[in-house]
Amino acid sequence: MTYESYEKIMLRFVAEESFSAAFKKYNELPPGNGPDLARELKEEALLDFTKLIRGSIFTDKYVYGVKLVLPSGALLTSAGGKNLEAKEVKLEKAAGYFSKEPWFIQAIERGGDLVWLDTNPEGISGDSQPTFGMSRLVKDAATGNPAYVVMLEIKADALADQLRSLDLGDQGVKAIVNASDTIIYSEQPELIGSGFAIRLSENGEQRSSIGKETFTNEEGQIQLVSYARSIERNDWYMVTAVPVSELVRDSKQILNMVWMILVVAAVVTVLIGVYMVATVGRPLIRLRNLMVEGEQGILTVRANIRRKDEIGEVGHSFNRMMDTITELVQHTNRSADEVLSTAAELSSVSQSTALAAKEISAATE
């Protein structure tokens, strides 16, 4: 249960009609000091009041006990806690027995406001079990006069749920402390009631509701301390202290992993570059050189590329281009040879015609 849930339990003594009616029934009966009917009625009314209390507040497993104390300091009734012997009960019912208890004094002084009680390693009732609690003065609904002080005692284990979900590693410290830096609860029971190693208050000034700071302990170890107030009314803080080295331990591993990934990525990039040069760059350079030779008139160059990818297609296209150019050149050469042969024949015919013309001219003279 939460802090608010226990406050609601305490509020029932003030606000619920059943509690007011049960106490009124008991209080209005005349005191019975002997074995008479009045005494039996008084005890029966008190028993009914006690049963009502038992049935109402012990639904939570962490509730240890409750005491109702009259303004005189004498015990009215109690429920839970350890079983008392008859002489102990008689002693507690004596006037003034609880008058000097801090929780009783604070409840009377607060006049009806709720008082939170820090964890006591030996139990608020001294039953050798760590408990915390709260007390409150309940007033008579009709007259407004003090009726009784109720003290609810709760096992310190109820505070464990707030710390159980926090995993701070092997060196982390977590606790619940009050405004005076006294440990209210710790997973180490022997620390309950002692001072917290790192103080949250300086020069009597209370810190904010939530915050974090760094401290250096006696061993020179830097610690990150975070704190948050549980609720405004009890002024308790949930505190965690973790060595900074513990916090950055995982970050160093992450940094090392990042460096490893960068190195692997660099190696892979280099390998990809080498592969691209070998499979793309070099074949293109060879094709470029062959084109330069073809440009210089060497038509016999061919690309010896037997790949089936795009580079291979470029090589085959280059070879087909060179074959076509070669065929065009050869065809041109053949045409030129034919032209030269025809010209020679024409020259011979021309010479023969000229000679014949001379002979005819000479004959006619």
Residue 173 β-bridge partners: 241
| pLDDT value for 262 | 94
Please say if the pLDDT value at position 59 is more than 70: yes
More confident call, 336 vs 93: 336
Q: Look up tokens 């020069």; give the residue.
A: 203
pLDDT, greater one: 261 or 197 = 261
Q: Which of 93-107, 110-124, 187-201, 324-338 has the lowest mean pLDDT?
A: 187-201
CA distance readout (Å), 3 to 162, 211, 251: 11, 21, 37
CA 337/CA 330 separation, integer angstroms: 11
What average pLDDT score do residues 290-294 get?
Answer: 82
Q: Specify the CATH class of 160-248 in words.
A: alpha beta
Distance CA 161, CA 1 (A): 9
Mean pLDDT of 38-62: 81
Output the pTM of the full model.
Answer: 0.61
Domain extents for the chain?
Answer: 3-158, 160-248, 299-365
Residues 149 and 107: beta-carbon distance below 8 Å: yes
Residue 304 in tokens: 């010896």
- From 82, 62, 150, select the one nearest 122 (Cα to Cα): 82
Q: How far apart are CA 124 and CA 157, in angstroms?
A: 14
Q: Give the dihedral sign, CA 114/119/123/126.
A: negative
Question: pLDDT confidence of 365, banded at 50, 70, 90?
Answer: low
Nearest to 199 by CA among 180, 214, 212: 180
Q: How confident is the model at residue 204 (pLDDT cuts 50, 70, 90)?
A: very low
CA distance 191 to 199: 15
Query: What are the φ and ψ backbone dihedral angles of 177, each rounded to 5 degrees?
Result: -125, 160
**Confidence band of 171 (pLDDT split at 50, 70, 90):** low
Calculate the CA dihedral of residues 130, 136, 138, 139 and round it to 10 degrees: 160
- In the CATH scheme, what is the code of domain 3-158? 3.30.450.20
Provide the mean pLDDT of the chain.
Answer: 80
Integer angstrom CA distances of residue 347 from 86, 340, 351, 352, 360:
159, 10, 6, 9, 20
Residue 339 confidence (pLDDT) above 90? no
Cα–Cα dist 43/287, whole Å: 115
Torsion over CA: 259, 263, 264, 268 (sign):
positive
In three-state form (DSSP H/G/I as H, E/B as E, the rest C), the secondary structure along the chain is CCHHHHHHHHHHHHHCHHHHHHHHHHHHCCCCCCCCHHHHHHHHHHHHHHHHHHHHHCCCCCEEEEEEECCCCCEEEEEECCCCCHHHHHHHCCCCCCCCCHHHHHHHHHCCCCEEEEEECCCCCCCCCCEEEEEEEEECCCCCCEEEEEEEEEEHHHHHHHHHCCCCCCCCEEEEECCCCEEEEECCHHHCCCECCCCCCECCECCCCEEEEEEECCCCCEEEEEEEECCCCCCCEEEEEEEHHHHHHHHHHHHHHHHHHHHHHHHHHHHHHHHHHHHHHHHHHHHHHHHHHHHCCCCCCCCCCCCCCHHHHHHHHHHHHHHHHHHHHHHHHHHHHHHHHHHHHHHHHHHHHHHHHHHHHHHHC
Paired sense of beta strands 183-186 and 146-155, if any: unpaired
Summarize the confidence of residues 241-247 as an average pLDDT.
Answer: 69
Q: Decide if pLDDT at 100 tops 80.
A: yes
Let me know if the fold of 3-158 is the same as that of 160-248: yes
